[in-house]
Structure 1
Amino acid sequence: MTETVNPANNTTDALDSGTLDSGTLDSAIAVIGMSGRFPGAPDLDTYWQNLVGGVCSISDFTDDELLADGADPAEIGGRDYVPSKGYLADADRFDPALFGFNRTEAAVLDPQHRLLLQTAWAALEDAGHDPLAAPPRTGVYVGGGVTEHMLAAQTDPKLAAQIGALQVRILTDREFLAPWVSYRLGLDGPSLNVQTACSTSLTAVHLAVQALLMGDCDTALAGGVAVDTVRRRGYVHYQGGIFAPDGRCRPFDERSGGTVPGNGVGVVVLRRLSDALADGDPVRAVIRGSAVTNDGAARVGFTAPGVDQQTAAIVEAWTAAGLEPADAQYVEAHGTATELGDRIEASAATAAFKGALGTGAIGLGSVKANIGHLDAAAGVAGFIKTVLMLEHATLAPTAGAGRPHPELALDDSPFHVVDSARPWPRPERGPRRAGISSVGIGGTNVHVVLEQAPPSPTAPRSTSPEILLLSAHTEEALRTVAARLATALRAPDAPSLADTAHTLRFGRTPQPVRAYVLAADHAEAATRLTELAEGRAVSTPAGADELRTLGEAWLRDEHLPWPGQGRRTALPTYPFEGESFGALTLDTRRQEPASPAAEEAPESLGGDNLEHSIRALLAEALGLDPSHDPDMTYFAAGGDSLTAVHLVGTLRDEFDLDVPLTLFLEQLTLHEMARQIVAGRDSDDSLDALLSEFEAE
């Protein structure tokens, strides 16, 4: 069914607000959706509450916790071991069926890939778009860090023997972060991995902005992920190193002693502002300009930052925005709390913002004090923080901020460190604006200029009943969806019921477990959603027969002649409920039991024994348990072409059977497939020819 939206003169309203003129409208980029998971925050609502509350979410582990997660007793007992980290809880949980992976693939898939897929899904939902029916020409610009899981998987010969070395690499290497998102969500725009060390995710945002302005794509996902290990781990402090001796990151503070590592993931959805306003997208903030530079050789060492090109990145970004750096009221700094890094960043920013109106006129902060240094995800963590501050018109404090370090000379600079939550007043000229900086080892500097969103048109009041369509992968998830939506509709700033209904219809992927609720106002909707969440009978209003008929058609997965009009709005996103799939470690690689198919020599297998062993081989490669449905086809069981290539090779090497790759493309049950393999189905194609054909495709 074709979606209908009512732009309600969005572009005109935005221009009349005084925040944008027709020229800047063409060069501005809208942030229409966001999702992230950070230390102490499984969602962005919790993230904001932690930020505005000045909460430090860096965890301090006990010896028992570290030992239980496999830490070296000798290492954690050392004098210089610091048992602290920005720890990301449940980083190994994943719902493979939702993304089309079988259990074997899910266990091998790097935790970074798992988290990024889920976060990309949630970001599109936050933007009011169905994750599996995103707009055409949607690009992906993301990056990640090196992980212990990836290194362990790619050096494990048993794992390579089980599913194939190429499959292992594709499932674990950070090179395939962007392609997996594009493939599993069906996104056909550019798909680029970005790697600039600590500035990776903000560089990804910059590249996505440029791609939108150049017309390479019409929608873009941008961000980053960093999960070096899912286990509780501290670090060893070295005198003169970058890590803090006490497990706390204190940017620009007189007590600063270094940074603290952390894990996290963040994704934002971007569109050209003119398109977003015309299509009724929920605009959360506006990117006015961005720039990237590199220090080149103008620094004391490869890992050291440089002043001049950091200053240049800031000035170029504000110039691209058609603004002056003095137009900023806040700067989210890279802020690692290292002696050299903070001193150079303060010098570079002071030079760039020297035209600010008065000493200390611009607020300064760094989210690393709250969550640690998230490596490839550090920039997007600061970006999302700044969008949230603009939305709430509130400056969030840098956690634990004390007296500024005297050597930074901030008292004579345009900056003051934000040390407590405070209102962010609208300036006399123009809207609220902020800059975000990120710096990578290797010299890549990024700066992005953010501006508050133009005012949204007021939704017309309506007392007509609406139908809220709900679906999920399981009954439990459906109850959670209903409970979260009920809470959202009770909030003072809840979206209109018409926009809520419209977003649920067009901005969510229809899933097998379904329900619907009829209501004429927010209170009625929240009550009935709560009934559904609690497993009680859901009351229905009198009349509304047409909507009830529509709801019953929804339950039967029939065509829906959608009534009325609406706009996309931000609603609670899908409650992923996947189980723990763990992660591999270099010290204790997963010890796979010997394949039942390999326990006996091929010559000792015949008839039923051979067929049984081949069935076991298929089940092992597809991650099936013994009770799997014997009538499943290969692809229904989660098989793909790479696994098929691996199975063809294994059958040849271990059973001396030449099986054509085309057999796996046929609509055979797994048991029928095993029988045909035993029967030695003839084929003129050699394995080498099939492999060549597959690679050519």
Structure 2
Amino acid sequence: RAEPLAVVGIAGRFPGAASLAEFWDLLRTGTCAVGPVPPDRLRPGWPASLMHGGYLADVDRFDPLLLGITPRHAALMDPQERLCLEVVWEALDDAGYPAARLRAAHDSRVGVYVGSMYNEYPYFGVEQSLLGPPADSGSTVAGIANRVSYAFDLHGPSMTVDTMCSASLVALHLAARALRAGDCEAAVVAATNLSLHPNKFRQIDRLGGASGDRLCRSFGRGGDGMVPAEAVCALLLKPLSAAEAAGDRVHALVSGTAVINAGRTNGWIVPSPTAQAEVVRQALADAGLNPSDIGYLEAHGAGTALGDPIEADGLHRIFAGDGRGRGTLPIGSVKSNIGHAEASAGLAGAAKVVLQFAHRTLVPSLHADELNPDIDWEHSPLRVQRTLQPWDTPGTAPRRAGVSSFGAGGTLAHVVLEEPPAHLAPDAPADPTPPAPTPVLLSAYDEDRLREVVTRLLDRLRDHPAPDLADLAFTLAEGRHHLRERAALVVRGVGELADRLRRHLDGDPTAAVHRGRAPSDRTRTEPLTAGDPEELARQWVTGRPVRIAPPTGRRPRIVPLPAYPFARMRCWLPEPSQRPDTPAASASPAPEPSYGPATAAASASPAPESAHGAAPTAASTSPGPDSASWPVTPAGSALSGPESAPWPVTPAGSAPSGPESASRPATPAGSAPSGPESAPRPATPAGPAPSGPESSPWLAAPTA
């Protein structure tokens, strides 16, 4: 058996769920997030009746300045590329590996493997050119993976994989093989799928593949077609031994993978039960496991009249011969909740399994109250998981699951996942550390984002059991990107931390929070590692690298904390405004892409330090720990607005105020979800291209 791979970081955005926590709520409550196309997505003449599906919120929004991209360029980028950058950032945050720490830990030998298939944003540029002034938009799908490697300065293999609907699990398979071969030491595996244009829906309708009742009835009676869905998901993988040596949290193990093609079948896009059985058999062999070791199957389950019975046949061939009784192996499909996420479908299913591991619970698969009569359930070990129930295992055996994903062209993938060893799981108990004065470091790109970072942290501390202070401080110091706008305070407990941050938000000058901005012209120096904790905090907010002393008695560990609150700037090609027969069309200048800042500061602020080591372009010093307001902006800075306005009063326990904290709610089939804001905001002044995320100042920087 080959060494398993550890999933040390995971993030995702799904219909009705802007985070994995929201995704779990959607799954456990049996919510269907499929509905009509959001009205703000439509253009005149588009077939809204065909465009039913699962949709993400805010696909037109992005934080370009944080990632070193000009708003003008961001408006022309494929939204799949933009969203992949943000979700990979979130996965690295979850793992506690900001770009610099990831590079230092693995000498930049980190691969990037992304599953994607549709490339629809160029259609918008073509249509604009046909209707008026020439415009271009989008790029090749290869740029999705390559942009991640560029943004985070990762030097391992980098590729976008397109095998249609099996693309994300094929990307995972290729990453697993590269890690085993030593081609890289860690790997980002991601997938992105957006439904931006009606071309896909027209094609699915022409081929007879669309669901008649606009639901994905995985293994249910009446399943006659699929419903497309959007999803973006990312994982960070390392060999299990490397993850354990580094003290990483582990969400799941990838025990085995397999990829084959069905070859010639009874027709193009007609599946083969023999081939589907074979890919499962190979994945089990790769994991060194027997069919009886699997306790759950996350099936492809597209809900089609032909596909579901054939998939059940293939699974029966593998699992019926291991002594299981009738209906003892639960199966389900996330497609029944969110629709068919196509290139992202495999990772969406894997994310569902990881969450079931974490909560030790099986969630219901929907729209199968009446089972598909073309499947022989009476003589099958399979049963559709239709209720929420604890996931129990015999004895001490770990929970294991298989995940299938099949491409229409015959490329089939199967992955075997296993729950992590108990001592590496995110909820593994740890001895408390003795109270000690501990610097807590918080940063963001600008003042508004920093306010939101603090608000989200307070919400987390209010709504969840308090983590150990040493672990929380370690996560913020080592496990997050350190950006230019900074706040720090020294506390002896999590309760004191929450109290003082809340008081600071309320404008109380006795909260004693240090504030500052990392200057643009600082040179790299050795980090401060010892001394008065207050002095460490004061030095850090002015840009000096520091290293927080680990707690005594045990190794510090990464703990779950809120994701970074990205600015929500609209970045989109403008709507066509002229017809080809308009005389002025040929003489009109090309319209500006639509982009607008979430705040004035976001549009005019200089950039943070780049992932390649460039420094930020503005400087300030801390006003001292007794200041309750954000620092006075130096003369000549590009920041706009009142220079010394304090944070507004925020009631204790209030929800985050930024639009990025809210996702489009899940909507039952047949209802129209509310869409993201579609009105363009004021254009951002042209300026030099900002640089990317800041390198962690105390970690060794890679050689340029």
TM value normalised by structure 2: 0.75
| Aligned counterpart in structure 2 of residue 389 of structure 1, from 356, 365, 377 | 356
Equivalent of 2:570, from 555, 564, 580?
580
Aligned residues between the structures: 579
- Structure 1 residue 568: deviation in Å? 2.5
Matched, 1:52 2:42: no
Cα separation, partners in 2 of 1:528 and 1:202, compared to 1, 3 Å: farther
Once the 2 structures are TM-superposed, how far is the Cα of residue 396 of structure 1 from its aligned partner? 1.0
State how far apart, in whole Å, the 2-side matches of 1:567 and 1:492 are. Answer: 17
Amino acid of the structure 1 residue aligned with 2:78:
D
Aligned to 2:430: 459
CA distance in 1, matches of 2:169, 2:217: 21
Q: Structure 1, unaligned stretches of length 5 or more?
A: 1-23, 600-616, 638-669, 673-697
Partner of 1:88: 56
> Aligned AA for 1:248?
L
Q: Kindly indicate whether residue 559 of structure 2 is the aligned counterpart of residue 569 of structure 1.
A: yes
Structure-to-structure mapping, 1:218-257, within 5 angstroms: 218-229=185-196, 238=205, 241-257=208-224
For residue 42 of structure 2, the aligned residue among 66, 69, 83 is 69
Cα shift at 1:302: 1.9
Higher helix share: 1
Name 1:502's counterpart in structure 2: 474
Q: Deviations over 1:320-361 (max 9, x none)?
A: 111112211110011100011101111111111121521111
Query: Match of 1:111?
Result: 79
Q: 1:97 aligns with which of 61, 65, 77?
A: 65
Q: Say yes or no: does 1:474 pair with 2:446.
A: yes
- RMSD (Å) for aligned C-alpha atoms: 3.9
Verify the 8 A CA contact 2:128 2:134 in the aligned structure 1: no
1:505 counterpart letter in structure 2: A
Give 1:134 deviation, angstroms: 2.0
Instruction: Select 1:137's aligned residue among 91, 109, 115.
Output: 109
Distance 1:475 1:411, change over 3 A: farther
Q: Which residue of 2 aligns with 1:180?
A: 147
Aligned residue type for 2:67: F
The change in CA–CA distance for 1:411 and 1:622 in structure 2 (over 3 A counts) is closer
| 1:320 aligned partner | 286
Decide whether aligned partners of structure 1 residues 83 and 162 sit closer, same or farther in structure 2, where only a CA change above 3 A counts.
closer
Shift in Å, 1:550: 1.3
Quick one: which of 206, 217, 233 aligns to 2:173?
206
One-letter code aligned to 2:11: S
SS in 2 for 1:97: coil
- Give the structure-1-normalised TM-score: 0.76
**Residue 556 of structure 1, aligned match among 515, 524, 542:** 542
Go from structure 1 to structure 2 and tell me whether the alpha carbon gap of 1:620 and 1:234 turns closer, same or farther (over 3 Å shift).
closer
Residue identity in the other structure for 1:480: E
Q: Say which SS state the counterpart of residue 249 (structure 2) adopts.
A: coil
Note closer, same or farther for the CA distance 1:356–1:577 as it changes in structure 2 (3 Å cut). farther
Contact 1:343 1:408 in 2 (8 A): yes
Q: Counterpart of 1:646?
A: none
Within the candidate set 412, 418, 426, 2:379 is matched to 412
Partner of 1:312, secondary structure, is helix
Number of the residue aligned with 2:404 = 437
Deviation at 1:522, TM superposition (A): 2.9
CA distance in 2 between counterparts of 1:363 and 1:156 reads 49
Q: Is 2:1 the counterpart of 1:33? A: no
Report how far residue 538 of structure 1 moved. Answer: 6.6
CA distance in 2, matches of 1:635, 1:277: 32
The alpha-carbon distance between structure 1 residues 49 and 620, as it changes in their structure 2 partners (threshold 3 A), is: closer
- 1:378 paired with 2:345, answer yes
Pairwise CA distance, 1:66: 4.0
Aligned-partner residue type, residue 175 of structure 2: A
1:303 is aligned to: 269
Instruction: Report deviation, 1:192.
Output: 1.3
> What residue identity is the alignment partner of 1:499?
D
CA distance change for structure 1 residues 237 and 128 in 2, over 3 Å: closer, same or farther?
A: closer
What is the letter of the counterpart of residue 460 of structure 1? D
Structure 1 residues 590 and 342, CA gap change in structure 2 (3 angstroms):
farther
Give the superposition deviation at 1:493. 5.0
Larger Rg: 1
CA pair 58-394 structure 1, distance change in 2 beyond 3 A: same
Structure 1 residues 494 and 338, CA gap change in structure 2 (3 angstroms): farther
Q: How far did 1:560 drift?
A: 0.8
Structure 2 distance, partners of 1:57, 1:300, is 34
- 1:542-575 per-residue CA deviation (whole Å, 9 max, x = no partner) reads xx99222111111101121421252223322211
AA partner of residue 548 (structure 1): E
> Counterpart in 2 of 1:522?
494
> For the Cα contact (< 8 Å) 1:252–1:404, is it kept in 2?
yes
Determine the C-alpha separation between the residues in 2 that align with 1:129 and 1:342.
40
Q: Tell me, yes or no, if the aligned pair for 1:140 and 1:220 is still in contact at 8 Å.
A: yes
Separation of aligned partners in 1, 2:197 and 2:474: 38
Identity among equivalent positions (%) equals 36
Say which structure, 1 or 2, has more relative contact order (CA 8 Å, 6+ apart). 2
Q: Secondary structure at the match of 1:104?
A: helix
Contact 1:467–1:551, Cα closer than 8 Å, also in 2? yes
Amino acid in the other structure paired with 2:173:
H
Amino acid at match of 1:469: L
Distance of 2:335 and 2:408 partners within structure 1: 16
- AA in 1 matched with 2:458: A
User: Which residue does 1:612 correspond to in 2?
Assistant: none
Contact 2:377–2:383 (Cα < 8 Å) also in 1 = yes
Contact 1:162 1:621 in 2 (8 A): no
Query: Are 1:262 and 2:262 an aligned pair?
Result: no
Contact 2:571 2:594 in 1 (8 A): no
Gap change, CA 1:512 and 1:588, over 3 Å in 2 = farther
Q: Which amino acid aligns with 1:475?
A: E
Moved more, 344-353 or 580-589: 580-589
Look up the SS of the partner of 1:516 in the other structure.
strand
Q: What CA deviation, in whole Å up to 9, does each residue of 1:280-306 have, x standing for no partner?
A: 111011111111111011x11221211
- The residue that corresponds to 2:532 in the other structure is 546
1:477 positional shift: 1.6
For residues 342-381 of structure 1, what are the structure 2 equivalents within 5 Å? 342-354=308-320, 355=322, 357-381=324-348
1:126 is aligned to 2:94: yes
- Tell me by how many angstroms 1:150 deviates: 2.1
Q: 1:548 to 1:598 in 2, by over 3 A?
A: same
Shift of 1:410: 2.4
Please give the alpha-carbon distance, in whole angstroms, between the structure 2 residues aligned to 1:555 and 1:634: 17
Corresponding residue SS for 1:27 = coil
Q: Secondary structure at the match of 2:550?
A: coil
